[in-house]
A and B are shown apart, each in its own frame.
Chain A
Amino acid sequence: DQQVKQNSPSLSVQEGRISILNCDYTNSMFDYFLWYKKYPAEGPTFLISISSIKDKNEDGRFTVFLNKSAKHLSLHIVPSQPGDSAVYFCAATPLFSGTYKYIFGTGTRLKVLA
């Protein structure tokens, strides 16, 4: 049972435009969410996070939106740059479970076209 779902395996966007990556989750115990970026042959690198007490968090070109009632989060990248081309994973965890393991989605491959 996939608790964190990324239903779009790939996305292509023109340089300078907005990239929107989506993620849905099913477990209502999740209250902390993260986005990681992964280049080939490298480990995932942290991008941005959000806790369930907020509905938006912004860091430079990256903004994460959380809709708790819909159990949905999205990552917006504005403007998109060719260096953003990578696989993006969303992840979720309960804040106070005692184990802090992340549950990851299957990833969305973003290609930013120059």
Chain B
Amino acid sequence: GAGVSQSPRYKVAKRGQDVALRCDPISGHVSLFWYQQALGQGPEFLTYFQNEAQLDKSGLPSDRFFAERPEGSVSTLKIQRTQQEDSAVYLCASSPQDRATDTQYFGPGTRLTVL
């Protein structure tokens, strides 16, 4: 399958723990997005990469959230000192180029539960 993959699919963390969520975009896709989806809500934008450059991180809720894409392919979203309000599904999406009309293809998400 050549779709976007994410790991782990499920993560349970104790409050205060650090977590790292991985996204493998579709090969060759230039743009990569992270979204957070709380229960009963739509996905909310967190951050955007064009290749390895993080061009927009305006949606990251606090400085405990950090994302990287060092070689322009795989991306990692790291959450430090997790809090209960961080519990959500974290979605990664990639698109072929850097145009708004390029369809964003979503992965299955990582469901994070913070106890």
CB within 8 Å of B: which residues of A?
4, 6, 32, 34, 36, 41-46, 49, 51, 89, 91, 93-107
Is the CB–CB distance between A101 and B59 below 8 Å?
A: yes
Known: A44-B43, A107-B42. A99 touches B48 (CB 8 A): yes
Is the CB–CB distance between B100 and A100 below 8 Å?
A: yes
A96 / chain B contacts, CB cutoff of 8 Å: 100
In angstroms, how far is the closest chain A Cβ from the Cβ of B101?
6
Is the CB–CB distance between A100 and B95 below 8 Å?
A: yes
Known: A42-B108, A44-B91. A103 touches B100 (CB 8 A): no
A95 to B31 Cα, complex, angstroms:
15
Residue of A nearest to B40 (CB): A106
Is the CB–CB distance between B56 and A101 below 8 Å?
A: yes
Known: A89-B43, A100-B95, A106-B41. A43 touches B107 (CB 8 A): yes
Residue of A nearest to B3 (CB): A43
